[in-house]
Amino acid sequence: MTDLSKQQHFTDPAPADADPDETLEWREALLSLAASQGPARVRHILDELARLARQQRIGWQPELNTPYINTIAVEDQPAFPGDLAVEERLASLMRWNALAMVVRANQAYGELGGHIASYASAADLFETGFNHFFHAKSPQHGGDLVFFQPHSAPGVYARAFLEGRLSEDDLLHYRQEITAPASGARGLSSYPHPWLMPDFWQFPTGSMGIGPISSIYHARFMRYLTHRQLQNCEGRKVWGVFGDGEMDEPESMSALTLAAREKLDNLVWVVNCNLQRLDGPVRGNGRIIDELEKLFAGAGWNVIKLVWGSDWDGLFARDTTGALVRAFANTVDGQMQTFAAKDGRFNRDNFFGQNEELARLAQGMTDEQIDRLKRGGHDLVKIHAAYAAAAAHEGQPTVILAQTKKGYGMGSAGQGKMTTHSQKKFDGADLIEFRNRFNLPLTDEQATGLNFFKPADDSPEMRYLREHRGRLGGAMPRRETVCDVVPVPVIDAYATFALKADGKEMSTTMAFVRMLGTLLKDKALGPRIVPIVADEARTFGMANLFKQVGIYSSVGQRYAPEDIGSVLSYREAMEGQILEEGISEAGALASWTAAATSYSVHGLAMLPFYIYYSMFGFQRVGDAIWAAADQRSRGFLLGATSGRTTLGGEGLQHQDGSSHLVAATIPNCKAYDPAFAGELAVIVDAGMREMLVEQQDVFYYVTLMNENYAQPDLPEGAAEGVLKGGYRFGRFGPDGAKQRVTLLGSGAIFTEVHKAAEQLAAQGVGVDVFSITSWSELARDGVARGEQSHLTQLLADSTGPVIAATDYVRTVPESVRAFMPEGRRFHTLGTDGFGRSDTRAALRAFFQVDAEHIVRKAVAALGKLAR
């Protein structure tokens, strides 16, 4: 009987058949066709019948679920290319050292935490990749990208220990990054964190869901580099090992169709389906593998189900009635978890004891043999077959749905139990049981003492490990940062119009777009720039770039755009430079991260500029921005139409009053709120040099406005102050004024500060005005330098009360209160509360940040001072 007939026979019972004889004829015809002409012909006929059914509006479509068995049949498995016994011993050693690391840390310091069960379920999935598929960067290969399931980090450390990359002292300082150096050790971060282990981890995956979406956009960015002929990424894969519970995160699922639409066959996901989340079953009343199969198949992915291990092959071969598949079809994951937690006797009675057909299959098997029946994700031969098929598949991304047991091998201490995820303690009996389960070369004393085990350098295991990683380019994960310096043109070459604006009216958004257009023409820097938008290019006045550099499309442009006769017409091209991500801030940020880390991932420095509505940055995808910071991104985030009053009519959800507050919390983010084009030019120039020439691991957040107003020349010598966070803009009022006040303003509200200064001057008040380009940089400098801070020195030759006004919540300017000169009163004005829809003037009056309210605050402060 062919596989096709088995699958047909093993499905759930069909509804009552009105004409069994006719049905039999159809079945026999199909089987005959398969036997005589093969699967390809069968698929063609089925496709034709499906098309005919649609034409006749029959109302039928095929099920997206296949039977609950392995996609790859036994006879289609390639020969296993390694030494199975050695690989199983290595995997067992990884499991033990990972377990010992976590348990020892928690014996010493109970609050450290850590996870054992996730890696216990994923160990074989990891090891098969390490031994046969995960290429490190080498002269022969550009290197694969691997996104590791975060809770399995101890297993990656355990392998690095055997490879000699980590010492036993390092393992003893798991999750002890602060205290480790005192012992001459390296502290190991809880999850993959490039910021904390910059030569080890490549990708941060510890915030669930960020890894999956990031892997997709990294795979697409590799195609972008290839199509733009910047770097040939052919032959390189992006591998992601994720958990089934993690698929509940919206980010995990949000870009599946993009991967299929772009035909990213350089992308392989391995979803570790251990059927458990942190607290219990993923889908206790259903089957998560079935659910994910439908989801991925419907999105256009190639789906490989890896459900049962080799021990089941004989059972399936003897099962001529389909009893096994029917039993699986009627067993939900909650029950599967129970089977995982129980022993062979329980499984004999409760699974194989469901009916006589199943009971006969289990005859001749001992309880221990039943207990040791492997699920597919624990069988190295089956895993290798699935990986090989995924690596060879063309035209689609592939997902491998690998069924495992959470806490595999942990026995009564945790295998398949509800508490498994948080299991960190083992008693002596549990440790002996674990040792026995995996035939570890440990004495009772070594096992109960949680001794780490490393075979001798000349042992078969160590030779095998080194040989296989040598073939694949060396140890990994491994993060490298060597890349060529990219020269940056002198600022006058692209920003003279901004530095010497001479009162011309423009918005800072328009100033930025003009600078960008010129930078894109630079022979050295231009090709490295990656402009990114989330379906808002025309909103930000970037339509002129469509013709200049084009929008990236992996298939070019297959249509004549409606506006083809316009100088601003839409143009897509395979070599296009703009990444236009549609209405997806998460996708655009993932693209930005891929470009911003290209210097380390690909050894090719790129410079992404992602421009977006500022409200939809830190507030909407803040977690992804934090992950980008962890990954040491280099690039520009540009929050356009920023502030709570500049985007007048849009209302609450579109008015940003907090992004600078959040940006200030990210250590390697430099946040600026420039009021003028000249300030913006200095900031962009400094950022490019810091990232591309000095190769510092920083990124810039710069807010831009859509309000047109007169742009002054940048004062001589102001550039240094712009970068430090503020400079003197000017003095107003009579020189000998008895009353003096100091005004600080930034971004959109600086024009109101300027008006207020002129009004106060008209009343005989002397006014010192300072343009604050970055409250967060001033605050950081103040913390570092105290009384010698830039702000304290900047205000030293001014007098009177200090009034600060911004288009952000008052907490933003309040961050510099501690650095006011001695004896100066400090008052802040901001846009606390929810936004509103109205004109800019009405909004600024409502939030009391307009010139009139700034004047009132100054007069009141002077009045108090006089009293």
Mean local confidence (pLDDT), 73-86: 96
Mean local confidence (pLDDT), 161-168: 97
Query: 826-829 and 802-805: which strand pairing?
Result: parallel
Token pair recorded at residue 166: 């980590």
> pLDDT at position 2, please?
37
Q: Which residues pair with 240 in a beta bridge?
A: 147, 269
Does 815 have pLDDT greater than 90?
Answer: yes
Burial class (CB in 10 A: 0-12, 13-18, 19+), 838: middle
Does 7 have pLDDT greater than 80?
Answer: no
Mean local confidence (pLDDT), 832-860: 96
Does 440 have pLDDT greater than 90?
Answer: yes
E strand residue ranges, 145-278: 145-147, 238-243, 267-273
pLDDT per residue as tens digits for the range 374-421: 999 999 999 999 999 999 999 999 999 999 998 887 766 556 665 656
Residue (of 553, 529, 556, 555) closest to 542 by Cα position: 529
Does 782 have pLDDT greater than 80?
Answer: yes
Percent of the chain past pLDDT 70, that is, above it, reads 96
Query: 740-745 and 766-772: which strand pairing?
Result: parallel
Token pair recorded at residue 623: 């977690």
Token pair recorded at residue 513: 């777009």
Q: How many CB atoms lie within 10 A of CB 493?
A: 12
Residue with tokens 């979803």: 271
Q: Using CA atoms, how far apart are residues 581 and 534, in angstroms rounded to an integer? A: 5
Query: Long-range contact list for 597-601, CB < 8 A, 24+ apart?
Result: 597/628, 597/631, 597/632, 597/633, 597/634, 598/221, 598/225, 599/481, 599/483, 599/634, 599/695, 600/194, 600/202, 600/479, 600/480, 600/481, 600/483, 600/632, 601/145, 601/202, 601/218
Q: Which residues pair with 703 in a beta bridge?
A: 639
Give residue 173's pLDDT band: very low, low, confident or very high (50, 70, 90): very high
Q: Using CA atoms, how far apart are residues 848 and 855, in angstroms rounded to an integer? A: 10
Token pair recorded at residue 498: 């901004």
> pLDDT at position 1, please?
31
Q: Which residues pair with 741 in a beta bridge?
A: 767
Token pair recorded at residue 292: 């994910």
Percent of the chain past pLDDT 90, that is, above it, reads 84
> pLDDT at position 62, please?
82
Mean local confidence (pLDDT), 497-504: 97
Does 23 have pLDDT greater than 80?
Answer: yes
Contact 325, 347 (CB under 8 A): no
Q: List Cα–Cα distances, 350 to 288, 342, 412, 418, in angstroms.
A: 21, 10, 18, 19
Angle at 302 between CA 296 and CA 304, to 5 degrees: 90
> pLDDT at position 5, please?
36
> pLDDT at position 536, please?
85
Does 10 have pLDDT greater than 60?
Answer: no
Give residue 37's pLDDT band: very low, low, confident or very high (50, 70, 90): very high
Does 775 have pLDDT greater than 70?
Answer: yes
Question: Range with the lowest mean pLDDT among 36-40, 84-88, 278-282, 398-402?
Answer: 278-282
Token pair recorded at residue 393: 């598949």
Mean local confidence (pLDDT), 293-313: 97
DSSP 697: S
Q: Using CA atoms, how far apart are residues 676 and 476, in angstroms rounded to an integer? A: 47
> pLDDT at position 408, please?
87
pLDDT per residue as tens digits for the range 589-638: 999 999 999 999 999 999 999 999 999 999 999 999 999 999 999 999 99
Residue (of 404, 422, 402, 291) closest to 337 by Cα position: 404
**b (16+ CB within 10 A) / e for 455-485:** beeeeebbebbbebbeebbebbbbbbeebee
pLDDT per residue as tens digits for the range 444-471: 999 999 999 999 999 999 999 999 999 9
Q: Which amino acid is at 771?
A: S
For the chain, what is the mean pLDDT?
A: 93
Does 277 have pLDDT greater than 90?
Answer: no
Alpha-carbon torsion, ordered 8, 270, 415, 174, to 10 deg: 180
Does 316 have pLDDT greater than 80?
Answer: yes
Q: List Cα–Cα distances, 73 to 2, 7, 8, 62, 84, in angstroms.
A: 10, 11, 15, 21, 20
Q: List Cα–Cα distances, 330 to 173, 323, 351, in angstroms.
A: 46, 11, 11
pLDDT per residue as tens digits for the range 117-143: 889 899 999 999 999 999 999 999 999
Q: Using CA atoms, how far apart are residues 839 and 25, in angstroms rounded to an integer? A: 75
Strand order in the sheet with 699-703: 579-580, 529-533, 607-613, 636-640, 699-703, 669-672
Q: List Cα–Cα distances, 637 to 530, 533, 663, 840, in angstroms.
A: 12, 11, 11, 25
In angstroms and rounded to an integer, the radius of gyration of the C-alpha atoms of the chain is 32
Most confident of 2-6, 157-161, 405-409, 653-657: 157-161
> pLDDT at position 118, please?
87
Does 156 have pLDDT greater than 50?
Answer: yes
DSSP 171-201: HTTBT-TTTGGGGT--PBPSS--TTTSTTT-
> pLDDT at position 116, please?
81
> pLDDT at position 810, please?
98
Mean local confidence (pLDDT), 761-767: 97
477: cis peptide before it, omega within 30°?
yes
Burial class (CB in 10 A: 0-12, 13-18, 19+), 85: exposed
Q: Using CA atoms, how far apart are residues 757 and 751, in angstroms rounded to an integer? A: 10
Token pair recorded at residue 66: 């296949």
Q: What are the residue ranges of helices labelled H in 610-709?
A: 618-630, 659-663, 677-688
Q: Using CA atoms, how far apart are residues 268 and 405, in angstroms rounded to an integer? A: 21
Residue (of 626, 620, 605, 720) closest to 669 by Cα position: 626
Strand order in the sheet with 238-243: 145-147, 238-243, 267-273, 398-403, 302-306
